[in-house]
Structure 1
């Protein structure tokens, strides 16, 4: 089930986010940058604000938060700012369901395209997004150590 996150989900969301990030940052960044107490506190504050704005979706499985996605609008363009699945639940379609739910929201808003950034060394995420039609943003293909991707949103399927 995909649903809006609530304040009651915050601990699970932060734990899932921290665990998922460790899978692709470990070995590329110092652990403190993704596991340190300051970073976890910063992450928690960001997730709490996003949940409060109603822009976080949770994938629930067996009564637990199994995946999470956050999106926002910057300068009129939808941005997929976060999409994480619990590593214990990879390859079960959860990420695809969260992605599809975000795309549906963007279609309903009439957006012609969306944007995201992905850590350039995160091969798993890069393959996930490429399989769903995301391509390098023609205007800004990179932001530091992240690739900037764009998804053209075709006509809404009914």
Structure 2
């Protein structure tokens, strides 16, 4: 089940976010930069702000009543960004990421968004493969943002219901 996050989800979101980030930052960044107390606090503040913003959406995917994935998107400087998409490692390859991605795309279609962007850690090849399989491509105008690749998606038109 995919639903909009509530403040009651905050602890579980921060835990899942920290756990997922460790899978791709470990070995590339010092642990305190992705799982240290200061970073976890910064993450908590960021997720709380995202849930409180009018121009942002935070989604939760549940499996058997447990948080299994999260996604967030927002508008910055007039551009739609997929700012977060994480699946708990215990739930990889179960379609949760695809479901969250589809929910984001459906929201963008309803809102008339034509293009979205995201940044993915250069060493996170698992995520890069996921995004490419879902239609994302490198942004030729801005291929990198520091240690992250910039990808963009031409949001497909919403499918028309059968007549």
TM category, shorter:
over 0.9
Deviation at 1:27, TM superposition (A): 0.1
Deviations 1:51-74 (CA, angstroms, capped at 9, x unpaired): 122610000111111100010011
Count of residues paired in the alignment: 158
Segments of 4+ moved more than 3 angstroms:
none
Question: What's the offset of the Cα at 1:154?
Answer: 2.3
* C-alpha separation in 1, matches of 2:5 and 2:34: 22
2:134 aligned residue (122, 132, 135): 132
Aligned partner of 1:60 among 51, 62, 66: 62
Tell me how far apart the structure 1 counterparts of residues 80 and 141 of structure 2 sit (CA, whole Å). 16
Separation (CA, whole Å) in 1 of partners of 2:156 and 2:101: 15
**The residue matched to 1:66 in structure 2 has which SS?**
strand
Select which of 83, 86, 90 maps to 1:84: 86
Aligned counterpart, 2:107:
105
Which residue is 2:34 aligned to? 34
**Unaligned runs of at least 5 residues, structure 1:** none
Q: What TM-score do the two structures reach when normalised by structure 2?
A: 0.95
Q: Distance in 2 between matches of 1:18 and 1:153?
A: 29
Q: CA deviation at 1:78?
A: 1.0
Structure 1 vs Structure 2 CA RMSD: 0.8
